[in-house]
């Protein structure tokens, strides 16, 4: 199979990353920041309602999103990509009707996140950029965008299942908290 690599030798001496992939990574970085602010807003919502454990759960989820954008920032730097750090996008204020809504929005947001990362992988594959594919799959410098999505989606779906039961809210809160923090060292 003939792969047409997009960079000339002259460009290649400066960076390993095509402009198209660089732009997609900057968008992804911005998207991870957007996830960060969304999960922070859910954290505040629950903390203000006195559901501290759900507040901590979403604070933990938000902090992970910051970590994801750091992976991308580091990868762009290591590729010597010429990029500017993007502005922090704002989420439209979501109307939260009940305690389940944030959990449903989280599942949808994580599916969208996975789709965006898949798109980067598709483009990288088309360009024969195995460095980027390797990074996406978790083989470089602690970044693991694709395997991370297995965890993020699984956790989000299970948390939604818990919150969708008819149990008392304090019991559900404990279960979500244990699901997340129970597995953490
Ligand atoms: Fe993320
Ligand atoms: Fe995670």
Ligand nearest to the CA of 147: 2
Query: How many other CB atoms are found less than 10 A from the CB of residue 170?
Result: 10
Question: For residue 92, how far is the Cα from the chain centroid?
Answer: 18
Ranges under pLDDT 70 in the chain: 183-185
Report every protein residue that has its C-beta within 5 angstroms of ion ligand 1. 32, 65, 68
Ligand 1 center from residue 180 Cα (angstroms): 16
User: Residue 1 domain-assigned?
Assistant: no
Residue range(s) defining the domain that contains residue 119? 17-88+98-181
Ligand 2 center from residue 60 Cα (angstroms): 9
User: Residue 171 domain-assigned?
Assistant: yes
Domain count, the chain: 1
Q: What's residue 184's pLDDT?
A: 64
User: Residue 93 domain-assigned?
Assistant: no
Q: What is the CATH classification number for the domain harbouring 109? A: 1.20.1260.10
User: Residue 47 domain-assigned?
Assistant: yes
Q: What's residue 185's pLDDT?
A: 44
- Secondary structure (3-state) at 22: helix
Ligand 1 center from residue 133 Cα (angstroms): 17
Q: How far apart are CA 13 and CA 7, in angstroms?
A: 9
Q: What's residue 88's pLDDT?
A: 87
Q: What's residue 150's pLDDT?
A: 98
User: Residue 152 domain-assigned?
Assistant: yes
User: Residue 9 domain-assigned?
Assistant: no
Q: What's residue 2's pLDDT?
A: 81
Phi then psi dihedrals of residue 83, to 5 deg: -145, 160
User: Residue 12 domain-assigned?
Assistant: no
Ligand nearest to the CA of 71: 1
Ligand 1 center from residue 42 Cα (angstroms): 15
User: Residue 23 domain-assigned?
Assistant: yes
Q: Closest Cα to residue 84, out of 23, 167, 144?
A: 23
Q: How far apart are CA 76 and CA 15, in angstroms?
A: 9
Q: What's residue 97's pLDDT?
A: 87
Phi then psi dihedrals of residue 33, to 5 deg: -65, -35
Q: What's residue 43's pLDDT?
A: 97
Ligand nearest to the CA of 110: 1
Is the sign of the CA dihedral 132, 137, 143, 147 positive or negative? Answer: positive
């Amino acid at each position: 199979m003939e792969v047409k690599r997009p960079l000339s030798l002259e460009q290649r001496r400066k960076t390993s990353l095509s402009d198209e992939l660089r732009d997609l990574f900057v968008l992804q970085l911005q998207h991870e920041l957007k996830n960060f602010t969304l999960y922070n807003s859910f954290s505040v919502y629950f903390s203000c309602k006195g559901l501290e454990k759900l507040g901590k759960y979403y604070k933990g989820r938000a902090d992970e999103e910051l970590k994801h954008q750091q992976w991308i920032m580091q990868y762009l730097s290591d590729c010597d990509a010429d990029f500017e750090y993007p502005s922090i996008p704002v989420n439209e204020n979501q109307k939260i009707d009940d305690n389940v809504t944030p959990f449903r929005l989280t599942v949808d947001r994580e599916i969208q996140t996975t789709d965006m990362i898949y798109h980067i992988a598709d483009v990288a594959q088309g360009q024969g950029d195995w460095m980027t594919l390797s990074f996406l799959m978790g083989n470089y410098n602690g970044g693991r965008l694709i395997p991370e999505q297995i965890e993020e989606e699984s956790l989000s779906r299970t948390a939604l299942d818990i919150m969708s039961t008819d149990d008392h809210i304090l019991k559900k809160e404990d279960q979500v908290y244990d699901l997340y923090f129970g597995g953490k060292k």
